[in-house]
């Protein structure tokens, strides 16, 4: 039975253009304790909320990704599904991420990703144009519209935090990023560390297809004395200087980048390891971005 009694649960719908930063937003919500689901069929939204907030459930804060990967008829019926959620006592918020066409074209060229509508046989430019048309109703429904054309990953994260009033907007957040040197240095990095001198899992056929996020690669690198010495020295440096940068600056974020040859094993492992270390040291806002993987 539906109820109009106020609910303490929070629901955020993340939508927008493919390549505009929706995945960054969902990862940010996940880091902040939200229960996140990407590419949820719109028609299942009421059932998802009912399950996540029902008896014995603990998901008081939820973030759901709904975009052009849904059936277009479902997207057209989204107002009905949002109304059904409202009848449960929630006030869902829809945030729409947008990006200029020229920036989207460049991002797809840089990452070599396929557009979700490419299976229709469309050129990339035509797929983007069709996506804009399909998502127009969602954009009109949006409570917040965020243009990410000129934002980096960490700036997107900060916008999400400040727009939704999550945490302290004056807190410095950390981004640990991995990259491949052959694709150039990441823009805006405050610290850059070169991991190319460390043992490379690429030469192990069993590890080559994996990444630094996989336990087999992480265990392999953790067992290498050179890797542990490298990580220990860098963590000591950052433990000393990051707090001083936080107290002596008005900046809202600091980016620490790790590079290796392919941006897949050593740099990814170090970014993940250092992010975990930072959280253990008490940093509340910590994000990880793997440029070549994400």
Which of 73-82, 161-170, 244-253 shows the lowest per-residue confidence on average (mean pLDDT)? 161-170
* pLDDT surpassing 90 at residue 43: no
For 286, the enclosing helix (H) or strand (E) is strand 286-290
Higher pLDDT, 266 or 28: 266
Mean pLDDT across the chain: 86
Highest mean pLDDT among 53-62, 157-166, 278-287: 278-287
- The ranges assigned to domains in the chain are 10-163, 173-290
Helices 266-280 and 215-222: angle between axes, nearest 10 degrees: 80
* pLDDT surpassing 70 at residue 284: yes
Which of 84-98, 155-169, 243-257, 275-289 shows the lowest per-residue confidence on average (mean pLDDT)? 155-169
Q: Which residue has the tokens 């990452």?
A: 111
- Tell me if 140 sits within 8 A of 94, measured CB to CB: no
CA distance between the termini of the chain = 42
| Reported pTM | 0.61
Residues 6+ apart with CB under 8 A from 155: 253
Relative to beta strand 173-180, strand 253-260 is parallel
- Measured CA to CA, the distance from residue 124 to residue 117 in angstroms comes to 9
How much is the pLDDT for 6? 41
* pLDDT surpassing 80 at residue 120: yes
How much is the pLDDT for 8? 65
Higher pLDDT, 172 or 100: 100
- Measured CA to CA, the distance from residue 102 to residue 111 in angstroms comes to 14
In this prediction, what percent of the chain has a pLDDT beyond 70?
88
- Tell me if 199 sits within 8 A of 228, measured CB to CB: no
Higher pLDDT, 288 or 234: 234
Name the CATH topology of 10-163: Rossmann fold (3.40.50)
* pLDDT surpassing 50 at residue 142: yes
- pLDDT band of residue 4 (cuts 50, 70, 90) is very low
| Residue-wise pLDDT tens digits, 63-110 | 999 998 887 667 878 888 889 888 888 888 999 999 999 999 988 887
How much is the pLDDT for 2? 40
* pLDDT surpassing 60 at residue 169: no
């Amino acid at each position: 039975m539906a109820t109009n009694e106020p609910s303490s649960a929070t629901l955020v719908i993340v939508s927008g253009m493919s390549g505009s930063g929706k995945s960054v937003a969902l990862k940010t919500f996940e880091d902040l304790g939200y229960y996140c689901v990407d590419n949820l069929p719109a028609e299942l939204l009421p059932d998802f909320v009912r399950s996540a907030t029902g008896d014995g459930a603990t998901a008081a804060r939820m973030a759901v990704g709904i975009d052009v990967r849904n059936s277009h008829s479902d997207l057209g019926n989204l107002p009905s599904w949002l109304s059904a959620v409202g009848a449960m006592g929630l006030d869902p918020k829809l945030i729409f991420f947008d990006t200029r066409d020229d920036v989207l074209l460049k991002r797809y060229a840089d990452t070599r990703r396929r557009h979700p509508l490419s299976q229709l046989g469309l050129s990339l430019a035509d797929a983007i144009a069709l996506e804009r048309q399909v998502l127009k109703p969602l954009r009109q429904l949006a409570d917040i519209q965020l243009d990410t054309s000129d934002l980096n990953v960490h700036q997107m994260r900060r916008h999400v935090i400040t727009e939704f009033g999550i945490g302290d907007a004056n807190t410095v957040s950390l981004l640990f990023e991995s990259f491949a040197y052959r694709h150039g240095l990441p823009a805006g990095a405050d610290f850059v560390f070169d991991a190319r001198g460390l043992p490379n899992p690429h030469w192990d056929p069993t590890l080559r297809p994996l990444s630094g996020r996989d336990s087999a690669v992480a265990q392999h690198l953790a067992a290498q004395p050179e890797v542990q010495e490298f990580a220990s020295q860098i963590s000591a440096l950052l433990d000393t200087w990051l707090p001083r940068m936080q107290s002596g600056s008005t900046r809202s974020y600091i980016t620490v980048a790790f590079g290796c040859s392919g941006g897949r094993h050593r740099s990814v492992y170090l970014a993940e390891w250092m992010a975990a270390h930072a959280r253990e040291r008490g940093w509340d806002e910590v994000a990880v971005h793997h440029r070549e993987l994400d």
